[in-house]
Structure 1
């Protein structure tokens, strides 16, 4: 009986940890599902938006530590909305400057967002005060200069040659400013803010430890918090899409973009809002990930493929499908990768081949191989996912 109880505790613990991993995947995949379902955009920079949410949490934590008092205990409640806003602002900027010119061109969008993801990774590794000052100078020169030119010149006539010329001049002045500031500053001033190493985010004291059940089973408070946060995000997204005017506009554009435009719905604003919403959800996921361990510039690469698998398996644009797929993929990956399946099987000759099989795949990387193989086999049977789209959305 004791052995049975130990196995049962191990299985329950494995299921709980898998569900908590699936909860993080679900928050990331929610943004992807909304963006991909509405615009058909394959955004490979979505994982890096998650990374910006994680680093925002790191900065908020450091500010809270410097303030002292109760700030380190409640910083997570400031980090969550700030991570959402930072990621949403970056996503909005990305949509307005890159994505909006590539609608209907999936290959170009994929390559462009992949390039943007590499730029974001290198930015986090290298960002310093001289770089920020150079970027501010560039933005100020370009925005103010464009405003002056469009207001006091015949911009439509000269923009073909004036825009690239002004862009080049602004970039050259900003680069010169960057070099001059870098040479004039001290070692501490020019040092990168984050660097290439992972950074640690310390959870508040009330998120350490866990709820103990039995002799070895424990449910960590941090993972319980992540599950609760995921449920809150699901409720908020459902309410937004079904109970607000802009949510109804998003659903309308998703069903029939052409008819929505004919009825006066501003589809370009809907696209921008949707992209910002999806990006903000990625920022919240990044904040949640900091509770599970250290974060680094390559954080997004660890989740982006799994998040896309959640969207594909669940069914494009299907909220319920994303929920089911995230929990299935997260739980299956953890049960296989942690070796839980190999442990819970009876150690008899009959089960020895299965035990050896699951023991071979009892690593994180090999578990992903197994999960991807299962997903490929599943898509051969149901290529449209668990909950395929129906009605007009299939035809578009």
Structure 2
């Protein structure tokens, strides 16, 4: 695999691919954090999670067009507005979907899987009707263009660094929300013992609704980040849904720390293997490694310990 490459070449390759893996890691983390809340803490198999990501991407694209056409003087800051709007739009749609569909299917995982798969098809067709079948991309502000140079062969794109910083900020905010805020205490109480949480006065239906909305909103932010490194199409979300479920299950379905560690391991493995193998073979090898580890540790890397 390394024949024909000098030590310096291999070093540059691993650094460049490692950073490419960090960009993929950022999208995986944002997608997986939202899914960890929905699947890991609510037990809902949301096959439409990728479409919530694409909603955020399309909101970012529309915001970029609005600033370009009507507020060109403020174009450099459109992405910050787009991230907020992407979160709000995806969260509101998630809140609506939970109220009219998901809450009637709790404790029925197969029905939830089929219902959300049908929802994903509906959303894909809606995007195709509203925005067209072709992929679209955003124009980045000047301050996000270019790259940092480290040595002769290593270049780090500025937009990739920004995506990682955005991911770090969102992860820290979510960590504070889940482990330090009163709402996070309610969520963990419902996860630990729903009946007892309801008995002490926690509105479990509201916690479920807000948790689903939060998970979908984070997926919307992932869509904004996705526009920085790739183009957006009606079916682009389906390319990430399997990897996202893999990250959540491998890390431990109820562990946010496990989700982050799993996203890092899978993204780095996949990115490095893609340089030496084809993209499909890299995915196959990564999947085989994860399957073997799950056979030895089926609860995931970081299983939450809660009383039953």
Q: Same fold (TM over 0.5)?
A: yes
Give the structure 2 partner of residue 366 of structure 1: 281
Give the structure 1 partner of residue 253 of structure 2: 316
Cα distance, 1:323 vs structure 2: 0.7
1:76-225 matches, within 5 Å, as 76-127=79-130, 194-225=131-162
For residues 338-373 of structure 1, give each alpha carbon's deviation from its aligned partner in whole angstroms, at most 9, with x where no partner exists.
22xxxxxxxxxxxxxxxxxxxxxx122221111111
Q: Distance in 1 between matches of 2:34 and 2:127?
A: 22
Q: Which 5+ residue runs of structure 2 have no aligned equivalent? A: none
Cα distance, 1:4 vs structure 2: 2.4
Give the structure 2 partner of residue 61 of structure 1: 64
Cα distance, 1:389 vs structure 2: 2.3
Q: Distance in 2 between matches of 1:232 and 1:107?
A: 35
- Identify which of 183, 197, 201 aligns with 1:246: 183
Give the structure 1 partner of residue 227 of structure 2: 290
Q: Distance in 1 between matches of 2:267 and 2:31?
A: 12
Aligned length: 304
Cα distance, 1:69 vs structure 2: 3.3
Give the structure 2 partner of residue 300 of structure 1: 237
Given that 2:41 and 2:253 are in contact with CA atoms closer than 8 Å, whether structure 1 keeps it comes out as: no
For residues 197-229 of structure 1, give each alpha carbon's deviation from its aligned partner in whole angstroms, at most 9, with x where no partner exists.
001111111111111001110110111011111
What's the secondary structure of 2:41's corresponding residue? helix
Question: Which of the pair has more CA radius of gyration?
Answer: 1
Cα distance, 1:37 vs structure 2: 2.1
Identify the range of structure 1 (96-105 vs 383-392) with the bigger mean alpha-carbon deviation.
383-392
RMSD across aligned C-alpha pairs, in angstroms?
1.2
- Identify which of 270, 277, 280 aligns with 2:207: 270
What's the secondary structure of 1:91's corresponding residue? helix
Superposition misfits of 4+ residues, deviation over 4 angstroms: none
Give the structure 2 partner of residue 30 of structure 1: 33
Given that 1:58 and 1:201 are in contact with CA atoms closer than 8 Å, whether structure 2 keeps it comes out as: yes
Given that 1:46 and 1:304 are in contact with CA atoms closer than 8 Å, whether structure 2 keeps it comes out as: yes
Q: Which 5+ residue runs of structure 1 have no aligned equivalent? A: 128-193, 340-361
Cα distance, 1:11 vs structure 2: 1.0
Q: Distance in 2 between matches of 1:80 and 1:300?
A: 17
- Identify which of 292, 295, 301 aligns with 1:386: 301
Cα distance, 1:65 vs structure 2: 0.4
Given that 1:50 and 1:284 are in contact with CA atoms closer than 8 Å, whether structure 2 keeps it comes out as: yes
Cα distance, 1:68 vs structure 2: 4.2
What's the secondary structure of 1:308's corresponding residue? helix
Cα distance, 1:317 vs structure 2: 1.2
Identify the range of structure 1 (362-371 vs 329-338) with the bigger mean alpha-carbon deviation.
362-371
Identify the range of structure 1 (32-41 vs 62-71) with the bigger mean alpha-carbon deviation.
62-71
